[in-house]
Amino acid sequence: MSSIADIQKKYAGKLDRLDLELILAHSLSKTREFVLIHDDYEIPKFKIENLKLKISRRIKGEPIAYITGHKEFYGLDFIVNASTLVPRPETEMLVEQALNETWSMDHGTKNTYIIDVGTGSGCIITAIANSMEHGAWSMEQKKTTQYYATDISKEALKIAKKNAKLNGVEKKIKFLHGDLLAPLLSNSCSMFHTPCSMSIIANLPYLSKEIYQSAPVDVKKFEPKTALFSPEQGLAHYRKLLEQVKKSLVLCSMFHVLCFLEISPEQKKLITPVIKNIFPKAKIEFKKDLAGKWRVCGIEIC
């Protein structure tokens, strides 16, 4: 028989203590607090093999979230697997800013579309829909707000739908498969044919070739490259997205269009000419994350 203390002793120095606590808690279906307090708890024999397997996956560098299959984001629980990026804490800032500024948009009686492009696990749109629906929005605002999310990966979309359900907002969000905004611009989707306000939130692949190459092995080995790397110094996806936004403006009279893009700090200088080239009159504002690094590019297009 092995106790929690035996396992902790065996793997001390080989594995981060917090990671080991999380794996123990997950494997034993207990809380981390339980693991901390009950180090004399005898681990049932039938759970030992699976526990050791998970520990060895972590030692080989696999992100803890893929091992437990879950990640907390914006106070909510999200399922993750190898087809989705693990939601990052800095992305919570993108959610916060989109919520604040979409909230203060002049809605009137127009429709408001909130669109998460490259949704991955669905963490951004689920967190936003959850906050908006349970927050202080008026009934009118709730009725006229529609949520959309797109991704190029069908596998990621399956997980995103599960996460919307897990967090009680599956009926609010339409998940669409395709290239950036393309599924919304197609003839089959009529949303742009009525006057509306639009808030686009995107954490798209933005790592340049050099930054992707220098990323930790764990990231390169386990997380999907299609979720991280983008050509043109990491800005190809954002440039294409903004061109699609421009196309959508031709299709319909928009009252107000905002974009919130997560960026890598060194892209602050590079992204400005890309935006100005497509939208010369756009107002651009950058925000730093909690680590003091430029992280969010807010664009008021009209």
Ligand X SMILES: C[S@@+](CC[C@H](N)C(=O)[O-])C[C@H]1O[C@@H](n2cnc3c(N)ncnc32)[C@H](O)[C@@H]1O
Q: Which is nearer to ligand X, 204 or 296 (CB)?
A: 204
CA 188 to chain centre: 27
> What pairs with residue 199 in β-bridges?
114, 258
Strand, coil or helix: 124: helix
Q: Which is nearer to ligand X, 69 or 108 (CB)?
A: 69
**Interacting positions 136-175 with ligand X (CB under 6 A):** 150-153, 156
Binding range to ligand X, per CB under 6 A, among 83-91, 95-103, 136-144, 288-296: 83-91
- One-letter amino acid at 168 equals G
**Residue 85 interacts with ligand X (CB under 6 A): yes or no:** yes
CA 9 vs CA 4, 32, 129, 179: distances in Å: 9, 17, 44, 49
**Residue 91 interacts with ligand X (CB under 6 A): yes or no:** yes
In the set 132, 204, 261, 301, which binds ligand X (CB under 6 A)? 204
Q: Which is nearer to ligand X, 168 or 178 (CB)?
A: 178
CA atoms within 13 A of residue 211's CA, in its CB half-sphere: 17
Strand, coil or helix: 297: strand
**Residue 119 interacts with ligand X (CB under 6 A): yes or no:** yes
Rounded least distance, CB 124 to ligand X, Å: 5
Q: Which is nearer to ligand X, 20 or 180 (CB)?
A: 180
> What pairs with residue 147 in β-bridges?
114, 173
- At residue 262, φ and ψ (nearest 5 deg) are -85, 135
Binding range to ligand X, per CB under 6 A, among 14-22, 34-42, 58-66, 203-211: 203-211
Output DSSP code: residue 192.
Answer: G
Closest CA to 228 of 243, 211, 240, 241: 211
Closest CA to 260 of 286, 278, 237: 286
**Residue 121 interacts with ligand X (CB under 6 A): yes or no:** yes
Binding range to ligand X, per CB under 6 A, among 57-65, 84-92, 167-175, 294-302: 84-92
**Residue 205 interacts with ligand X (CB under 6 A): yes or no:** yes
**Residue 245 interacts with ligand X (CB under 6 A): yes or no:** no
In the set 4, 7, 227, 299, which binds ligand X (CB under 6 A)? 227
Rounded least distance, CB 149 to ligand X, Å: 9
**Residue 27 interacts with ligand X (CB under 6 A): yes or no:** no
Closest CA to 254 of 117, 99, 101, 112: 112
Binding range to ligand X, per CB under 6 A, among 17-25, 27-35, 114-122, 282-290: 114-122
Residue for token pair 């998460």: 116
Residue 33 CB contacts under 8 Å (≥ 6 apart), including other chains: none
**Residue 180 interacts with ligand X (CB under 6 A): yes or no:** yes
Rounded least distance, CB 288 to ligand X, Å: 18
Closest CA to 88 of 229, 234, 238, 295: 295
Q: Which is nearer to ligand X, 236 or 302 (CB)?
A: 236
**Residue 120 interacts with ligand X (CB under 6 A): yes or no:** yes
Angle, CA of 167, 262 and 99, to the nearest 5°:
50
**Residue 179 interacts with ligand X (CB under 6 A): yes or no:** yes
The residues binding ligand X (CB under 6 A) are 85, 87, 91, 118-121, 123-124, 150-153, 156, 179-180, 203-205, 226-228, 237
